[in-house]
Homo-oligomer: A and B are copies of this chain.
Amino acid sequence: MLQTAIEMEKAALILKLLGDKTRLTMMKLLDHHACCVCEFVEIFKTSQPSISQHLRKLRDIGLVKEERKGQWIFYSVNKHHEYYPFIERILNQLPDQDEKLKELEIKGTRITCC
């Protein structure tokens, strides 16, 4: 893949968005799993609008994409984003967060649509 030249301005904007514990953990999870809003609500123990707003910020600059599946809207990382390689190298350094999803599976609240 052709790597675009990183611009400082855009890099700073992305780092700012990643510089929030909730969004950073979201991105780490979404990098390998599609998740829906209600799962994040449970994982982060915060309100649904708060989660929606974080996702909106990530979506506004194209870092994540959404796909409706029936009742749910599944979010996932947009791997075609111009800066995805930049982001990926950051996410790869972070500890795996999959246990958060495993907890949902144990509780039976993981949404595995279709």
| Binary interface encoding of chain A residues 15-29 relative to chain B, with 1 for a CB under 8 A from any of its CBs, else 0 | 111111100110010
Interface membership of A1, Cβ < 8 A? no
Number of copies: 2
Q: Is the CB of B6 within 8 A of A12?
A: no
Q: Please measure, in the bound complex, the distance between the C-alpha atom of A54 and the C-alpha atom of B12, giving whole angstroms.
A: 14
| Given known A-B contacts A17-B19, A18-B19, A93 and B12 have beta carbons under 8 A apart | no
Q: Is the CB of A19 within 8 A of B21?
A: no
Q: Is the CB of B17 within 8 A of A95?
A: no
Interface membership of A114, Cβ < 8 A? no
Q: How far is the CB of A74 from chain B (nearest CB, A)?
A: 23
Residue in B closest to A23 when the chains form the complex, CB atoms: B12
Interface membership of A8, Cβ < 8 A? yes
Q: Which A residues lie at the B interface, using CB under 8 A?
A: 5-9, 11-21, 24-25, 28, 86, 89-90, 93-95, 97
